[in-house]
Amino acid sequence: MIAVIQRVLESHVEVDGKIVGKIGKGVNILLGVSKEDTEEDVIKLVNKVVNLRIFEDQNQKMNLSLLDIKGEALVISQFTLLANLKKGRRPSFEFSAEPDYAKRLYNLFVSEISKCIPTQTGIFGADMKVYIVNDGPVTFILNSKSI
């Protein structure tokens, strides 16, 4: 499971011109599910995300987590994070989970992170427009297989 974590002042996602998810200060999470991912990957990734100390304290040091600041999360499904770009010019998605499996793990991720912090989402599989006011910018890439 791959997640691109962006620290944001605010973020929202639109589908067909309508806002379907909107947050204030927190993180925008682009989440890709691979064929090899399991529920264990979901739990590891959620725990890592909510406890990452990526928000500034009173001394402008990255020392506070989402839990500390009572931040929010906007979780967007993005299968293209699993693209194989090694051969040729067209991405291959051979490592991406099948849609039904990916949706199940995506929904589990949303459910688990929602237990910790206020969470909004896009619509799985939809054509979405994501608007981000990146704070910093501060962006991290996490792979559940290496945490």
Q: What amino acid positions are annotated as catalytic residues?
A: 78-80
Q: What tokens appear for 3 in the block?
A: 């997640």
pLDDT digits (tens, 9 = 90+) for 79-111: 999 999 999 899 999 999 999 999 999 999 999
* Cis check: omega of the bond before 118, within 30 degrees of 0: no
Cα 63 to the center of its chain, rounded Å:
20
Domain total in the chain: 1
pLDDT digits (tens, 9 = 90+) for 62-82: 999 999 999 999 999 999 999
Domain that holds residue 9: 2-135
pLDDT digits (tens, 9 = 90+) for 13-38: 999 999 999 999 999 999 999 999 99
End-to-end C-alpha distance for the chain, whole angstroms: 11
Q: Is residue 107 part of a domain?
A: yes
pLDDT digits (tens, 9 = 90+) for 112-130: 999 999 999 999 999 999 9
**pLDDT computed for residue 36 by the predictor:** 97
Q: Is residue 144 part of a domain?
A: no
User: Do 81 and 32 form a contact (C-beta atoms < 8 A)?
Assistant: yes
Q: Is residue 128 part of a domain?
A: yes
